[in-house]
Amino acid sequence: MKKIFLCAINNILSGTCKEDCKFCTQSIRYHADILRYNYKPIEQIVQEAKQAKTNGALGYCLVTAGKGLDDKKVDFVARAAQAIKAEVPGLNLIGCNGTATVEQLQYLKKHGIDSYNHNLETSKRYYPYICQTHEWEERYQTCLHVKSAGLMLCSGGIFGMGENDEDRDDLLKAIASLDPASVPLNFYHPNPALPIKTRNIEYNEALQVISTARAMLGDEKMLMVAGGRELLFGKKEDQMFEAGANAIVIGNYLTTPGMAPDQDIKMLKDLGYEIASECTASH
């Protein structure tokens, strides 16, 4: 029976980013109607980690808005990770905190972070069309830093932002070149405040992205369908898993709501899948 890995996201610093990524409601430039707050209380983060574990999540991702890490953020993420590890055993803790140096990443690893998520987002060619405040190469370099620091790398992208088929293939090739442990595939979720107004990927194209990613990455990698899953695959998740996905995000995303966790768990069981109860070495 195929096992499906579950991951939960905690937005621990929300909506304060000064970058101009045209797909992101967390940018202060676009004034999207989202909840914005500074550092979430660590006690609350721990309680939410306990709930995620109860819901079956093995991965737990601590996300901070902003271009990258500074001393204050590094300290905050490290303290949150330590607190979670002390009270919630068995979670793979994932940092998602933007661009980072090897030294910053080593510090996070020392304090309990197991993996680091930094997405390439789109192809190198198309990237300037969606972001001008930093370069694609900086993202790729951070992914290399993750590996140098001895953390497991989680890197993926967003599909449906106006890119063409060649861009999609180039993005997947770039991701595969990093040999990440896990790859989140996001599908653009339009928001009226954002410059990218529509999503240019449909259900069958999304399935093709999943199957192409699986072919490039091999059988052992964790291939996760994350943002936009409900929009594209609602009631058709079986096809998503047939195409090669073996992980999903449960609960809410960064600024958009997801399905209730119990509904996703029921969906998986109804489809005959087993929920993974432990991470393997490559995950």
Tokens found for residue 237: 């998740």
The answer for residues whose C-beta is within 8 angstroms of residue 116's C-beta and 6 or more apart is 94, 95, 96, 97, 100, 105, 108, 146, 149, 151, 152, 153, 154
Q: What is the C-alpha separation between 268 and 133, in angstroms, rounded?
A: 40
Instruction: Judge whether 98 and 139 are in contact, CB under 8 Å.
Output: no
pLDDT at 1 over 90: no
Q: What is the C-alpha separation between 175 and 120, in angstroms, rounded?
A: 7
- 277 falls in which pLDDT band (50, 70, 90)? confident
pLDDT at 237 over 60: yes
Q: Taking the complete model, does pTM exceed 0.75, yes or no?
A: yes
Please compute the mean of the pLDDT values over residues 243-249 and round it to a whole number: 96
For a pLDDT cut of 90, what percent of the chain falls above it? 79
Q: Torsions phi, psi of 218, nearest 5?
A: 90, 175
Give the DSSP letter of residue 228.
T
pLDDT at 194 over 80: yes
Q: Where are the beta strands (DSSP E) in the chain?
A: 3-13, 59-64, 92-96, 115-117, 152-154, 157-159, 182-187, 222-225, 247-249, 274-275
Q: Which CATH class name applies to 3-275? A: alpha beta
Average per-residue pLDDT for the chain: 93
Tokens found for residue 22: 């045209």
pLDDT at 279 over 80: no
* Lowest model confidence (mean pLDDT) among 51-60, 130-139, 249-258: 249-258
* Lowest model confidence (mean pLDDT) among 57-61, 254-258, 270-274: 254-258
User: Which amino acid does the sequence have at 256?
Assistant: T
* Lowest model confidence (mean pLDDT) among 25-34, 63-72, 189-198, 210-219: 25-34
Predicted pLDDT at 281: 40
- 283 falls in which pLDDT band (50, 70, 90)? very low
Angle (CA) 71 79 8, round 5°: 105
Q: What is the C-alpha separation between 62 and 11, in angstroms, rounded?
A: 6
Predicted pLDDT at 245: 97
- 25 falls in which pLDDT band (50, 70, 90)? confident
Q: What is the C-alpha separation between 156 and 189, in angstroms, rounded?
A: 16
Please compute the mean of the pLDDT values over residues 107-126 and round it to a whole number: 98
Q: What is the C-alpha separation between 249 and 214, in angstroms, rounded?
A: 18
Q: What is the C-alpha separation between 108 and 264, in angstroms, rounded?
A: 31
For the chain, give percent helix, strand, coil, nearest 5: 35, 20, 45
Q: What is the C-alpha separation between 51 and 60, in angstroms, rounded?
A: 11
For a pLDDT cut of 70, what percent of the chain falls above it? 97
- 252 falls in which pLDDT band (50, 70, 90)? confident
Predicted pLDDT at 26: 87
